[in-house]
Structure 1
Amino acid sequence: MILNTAKLVGSLFYERWKKQELIQVLVALAEENIVSQQCVDALEVQSEESLEHSFSHLFEGLGDMPAPPWGSVYLDKDRVVFGESTVEYRAFLKSHGISLDTGLREPEDQFGLTLYAFSQLLAEEKEQAANHLLEYHLLPWAIPYLELLSKKADNVFYSALAVDIKTWLVGIASDLQLNIVNRKLYLD
């Protein structure tokens, strides 16, 4: 269950969806108590254009990003993509036979892509590696990232989504009894 949910959630932060497709995904996630009805309702009132603009702004780097979705922005002193933490994460992925080659020159530590890697580790029954990915490579920065996204998103849907996904991730950490590593974060 976590495997498929992680893939779907990752896609919400990485892939550009049409509004009707998003509604179907969100309704399914709401039925599983992953997202709230408030999140679904916030999506339903959005225009296609508003969703496209917000997605570009929040996840692709159109203009000044209020909450960059890359781990290295939060984990590296210089707050850059492709920083030391990205190199470290890339080595972790390689050691577990995971390649996140999207055909674009982009860091693998993007929030949605990291959830894809987590689901791939689960699919390959590498639970220990999947837990390590969450404990060390994702959750130390993802919770503050989602909090920032919920406050700074220019779209009420993405604000609500960030709140719900933070709750989901905290629940996973509790259910799996994860020990989230306390890493130094560089936040504004």
Structure 2
Amino acid sequence: MQLENSRKLKQQRTDCYRLLAALFYPPQREVLLSESVCQNLALLLDAVCPEAGRYAGEMLQCLEKSSDSELAVEHAALFVGPFELKAPPYGSVYLEEHRRVLGETTMATLAMYREAGLKLDIREPADHIAVELEFMYFLAVREVEALLSEDQGRPDVWQKRQAEFLLGYLGRWTPDFCSSIKNGTQNEYYRALANCLAAFIACECEKVKQPANAGSRSE
């Protein structure tokens, strides 16, 4: 029973990455509402990271009050342009000097994707927030598949890849990115999304660090 619950929690975590990634693409309000994306995310996060789940609930309330045009304008101003972006959604902007797009860290993330066996067919740079979240989803899916196949040792491989990417890339720049969103908009939906992502990634980083911390305390 304990093993079954652990697998269920891992699957829920996997789906959190998938839904969060979807929310950083151009918003389609009716689709988000009809498919209960925010509601489903809130339910998943309640099990995985309750603090983030609270913000997902706020997102649903804000989404219901927002219009398609409001969301589209705000998404463009934050993440797309044509003017200076209020919250560039690219990791290299936050990880490298001079806020560069398509920097060395972008190429490093692309190399990690290829090394893990992920083939990309996208227009966005490899370190776009949605792409990095989708990569974590890809890795988490592989971990769950390895657990279900009872292939001893393989889950550890995918866990290690997730930890390396989370601590080396996604987890390093997400806090600043989420702060940029909140500083760049008064739109309550996107402010709640920023809080949700920040809380979830903070939970994820803490969980990854726990084994190492536990080991150091026991020494």
TM-score, normalised relative to structure 1: 0.85
1:145 aligned partner: 177
- 8 Å contact from structure 2 (residues 89, 129) kept in 1: yes
2:27 aligned partner: 17
Structure number with the bigger relative contact order (C-alpha 8 A, sep ≥ 6) is 1
2:166 aligned partner: 134
- 8 Å contact from structure 2 (residues 27, 75) kept in 1: no
Moved more, 45-54 or 34-43: 34-43
1:78 aligned partner: 98
Equivalent residues in 2 for 1:23-62, closer than 5 Å: 23=33, 24-32=36-44, 33=46, 34=53, 35-62=55-82
> Cα offset for 1:170?
0.9
**Which whole-Å CA distance do the structure 1 matches of 2:42 and 2:116 have between them?**
32
- 8 Å contact from structure 2 (residues 18, 137) kept in 1: yes
Do structure 1's residue 164 and structure 2's residue 196 form an aligned pair? yes
RMSD: 1.8
- Percent identity at matched positions? 26
**Which whole-Å CA distance do the structure 1 matches of 2:103 and 2:23 have between them?**
24
Aligned residue identity for 1:28: N
Aligned residue identity for 2:86: P
The unaligned stretches of length 5 or more in structure 1 are: 180-188
After TM superposition, the runs of 4+ consecutive aligned structure 1 residues lying more than 6 A away are: none
Residues 110 and 48 from structure 1, CA distance in 2 versus in 1: closer, same or farther, beyond 3 angstroms? same
**Which whole-Å CA distance do the structure 1 matches of 2:165 and 2:172 have between them?**
10
- 8 Å contact from structure 2 (residues 78, 184) kept in 1: no
Aligned residue identity for 1:147: S
1:121 pairs, out of 110, 131, 139, with: 139
2:217 aligned partner: none
**Which whole-Å CA distance do the structure 1 matches of 2:135 and 2:210 have between them?**
17
Q: How many residues align?
A: 176
Q: Per the alignment, in what secondary structure is the counterpart of residue 177 of structure 1? A: helix
Aligned residue identity for 2:31: E
**Which whole-Å CA distance do the structure 2 matches of 1:89 and 1:178 have between them?**
24
> Cα offset for 1:21?
2.2
**Which whole-Å CA distance do the structure 1 matches of 2:60 and 2:101 have between them?**
31
The unaligned stretches of length 5 or more in structure 2 are: 1-11, 47-52, 144-157, 212-219
TM-score, normalised relative to structure 2: 0.74
Q: Per the alignment, in what secondary structure is the counterpart of residue 120 of structure 1? A: helix
